[in-house]
Amino acid sequence: MSKLVSDSWKIIQEGFSAEKNRFFESIMASGNGRMGLRGNHEEDYTGDTLKGTYIAGVYYPDKTRVGWWKIGYPEYFAKVLNAIDFIGIKVGINGENVDLATCCFTNYKRELDMKESILRRSFTFVGKDGSEYEIKTERFLSYADCDLAVIKYSVTGLSEEADVVFTPFLNGDVKNEDANYDEKFWEYVSGEAGKSVSFLTMKTLKTNFNVSAAFTWELTGSDALENEAISRNGGEFVGNRVRAKVRKNATVTLTKYISVISDRYYEADKISNIACHKAEEAKKAGYESLFEAHKAKWDKIWSMGDITIRGDIKAQQGIRFNIYQLNCTYSGDDPRLNIGPKGFTGEKYGGSTYWDTEAFCLYFYLGTREPQIARNLLEYRYDHLEKAKENSKKLGTQGALYPMVTMNGEECHNEWEITFEEIHRNCAITNAIKVYTEYTGDTSYLYQKGIDVLVETSRYWVSRVTFNSKKNIYMILGVTGPNEYENNVNNNWYTNRMVKWSLQYTADTLENMEKADKKLYQEAVDRLRLTEDEVDSFRKISQNMYLPEDKELGIFLQQDGYLDKEQTLVSDLKPEDLPLNQNWSWDRILRSCYIKQADVLQGLWFLNEEYPLDVKKRNFEFYEPRTVHESSLSPCVHAILAAEIGLEDKAYEFYLRTSRLDLDNYNNDTDDGLHITSMAGTWMSIVHGFGGMRIKNGELYLAPFIPECWEEYSFRLVFRGRIIKITVNKKETILLLEKGDPLEILLFTERILLK
């Protein structure tokens, strides 16, 4: 049986279980921002597995198929593609194929070292004659050169010598498990199996992305007794058959040096040559040299972004796992890339960009990496502004409506309640511009590019609201708010409130621009063809936006008619009812009062400074007991607000849920990949929740507490050219300026100068 071992820096699987294999494949996933892998075996495995090799930005537009086509429907649903299998190494020992689904083995261990970003495995292969051989593997995707991957595969003779046959290969005959009709998304372009270097180039259907992988190899501990180049399946399988002898108590190791190149970065007709050259250069550099450069990059990431926890190893393992996977998914060096909800760990959600990026991920990258990395997330949306305007036009509205799901700026989600109604995504993007500007103190993006996003999204809201002349108010009808267990509702409080804020923020930004930089202001006015009347309309709608509330209860209403529902609590549900989305019909869910994730409370987090504690507390105490937290994005917002209103035990409970959502498989869905975007919420739960970090009037503010079961915790903030370490224990809070100029910050009500 398999078990997951608690460790502060590692994800460790002891023992093998075929039933849990997909789960462990997910949590052992790794990446370097340009490509990523599930924790699949290098050797054959014919048991239940989800093979996953993913290349950033490479996708397939799977045609939308619905029974009743609706005007405005997206033409396709984008899918991240399982790409060339480049980790494969078939292994034979004395003529027996090493396949953990069929062979005999003991002492299985799989271990992801997050500090060094390397995956190691070991087990004892037992031959049919009882002979035993220890097998060890290790692999990493280089963070120093994101085109490279390296694998070591070692066999040690424990009981006697053996003939060992290694067959390192590249396989382009791959499919997606979520293909509608089991179709292939790739076609063969070229390939060659050579005795020293082999390559394979494949091209996606429809989108015509070209990806080339190449590898070379070296053998240590034995001479190669045979070396045969192999090409099969019309060239889609290329490799080498390498025979060697392993002696008793000795080890033979095959090291595979791999380069993976796409035409997103190089010319298509040159990528195979580049891939071969880089693989050969990697071999010349050698395993240790490549690994040291890789580790140095990860050392820098951890030196800025690590969070340490003393006294709670499960909490420590959880937060590092989340930080690790976020950095595997997005390195931030390419503004054309973004963060898919599953990252490089599975096919679900198509690998596309959701509102999760702005609502959750931006905070993490702002606080842990150089500001350009977070800025690139904003550049991504600016670069897609014209597509957002096209999306709006398709729905018969003005301005820009950013897609709920996208790869290239086009909407590519095929559920109507998402595509047409979850329009609050615009507000997450405008809020992200504000968050970035306030945190960095840098107005250059806001005034040069962000203003275009603000104005065009505001124009969308002007065309989307409904004016109620009897009540002299503006309403927003027919939406789905963050709570996706409510569709086609009127006046979702969160949506209305964020639109009210967005319109006001746009008008205020224009006013501030005119004062701060008349030249940039006038350029924006001319470029956007803005008039005073239009800006006045932004303010007028904002000032007269309808916000549903119940004054008797002192709460904001999630939407019109919410209190008409039977008001039962999650505690009233039977255990077998949960999760609702796996046990109830959609009709029953929609008629219930149950909430998938933070909705009203999401607004109270975004607009945190605009509401006093008593308002937050009343709304939290009303809505949280009705929330089933069946979205991975839910626990973190609740953790932050619970911490702020003094419910420290509740905050810790939600932190543990968000930090170990995948490790403990809370929602029984880790098998198909990790919840990458919600992992940023884990970091937020500690920094914004337990640490109480806010930006108040342009200054850094902290109000930390420590969970009862922790002895101490610490985190760093990358803030305006400084690195600040905050350590909190039972007695005191320690602030250390590790890098940068002196800075005044607020600790509760005390002003402190760090230097």
Catalytic residue set = 484
Are the C-beta atoms of 116 and 30 separated by less than 8 Å? no
Contacts of 224 (CB under 8 A, 6+ apart): 242, 243, 244
The rounded distance, in Å, linking the Cα atoms of 112 and 324 is 11
Closest CA to 594 of 492, 668, 484: 484
Closest CA to 290 of 315, 263, 257, 313: 257
CB atoms within 10 A of CB 550: 12
The rounded distance, in Å, linking the Cα atoms of 120 and 136 is 7
The angle at the Cα of 185, spanning 181 to 187, to the nearest 5 degrees, equals 130
Are the C-beta atoms of 197 and 168 separated by less than 8 Å? no
Backbone angles phi, psi at 211, to 5 degrees: -130, 130
- The full length of the chain comes to 755
Are the C-beta atoms of 692 and 701 separated by less than 8 Å? yes
Strand 3-5: give its sheet, edge to edge.
3-5, 10-14, 104-113, 118-126, 132-141, 148-157, 251-262, 210-220, 197-204, 186-192
CA dihedral 243, 245, 251, 253 (to 10 degrees): -10
Cα separation values, 197 from 43, 143, 213, 280, Å: 20, 23, 11, 7
Which burial class, exposed, middle or buried, applies to 533 when counting CB atoms under 10 A from its CB (0-12, 13-18, 19+)? exposed
The rounded distance, in Å, linking the Cα atoms of 685 and 436 is 19
The rounded distance, in Å, linking the Cα atoms of 468 and 653 is 43
What is residue 303's three-state secondary structure?
A: helix
Paired with 556 in beta bridges are 549
CA dihedral 741, 438, 520, 532 (to 10 degrees): -160
Closest CA to 694 of 383, 267, 363, 382: 363
At residue 148, what is the residue type? Answer: L
The rounded distance, in Å, linking the Cα atoms of 613 and 328 is 37
Closest CA to 44 of 168, 157, 136, 225: 168
Per DSSP bridges, beta strands 76-80 and 59-63 are antiparallel
Beta strands in 34-172 (DSSP E): 35-37, 53-55, 59-63, 76-80, 89-93, 96-97, 104-113, 118-126, 132-141, 148-157, 162-171
Q: What is the residue whose two structure tokens read 């997909």? A: 22
Paired with 4 in beta bridges are 13
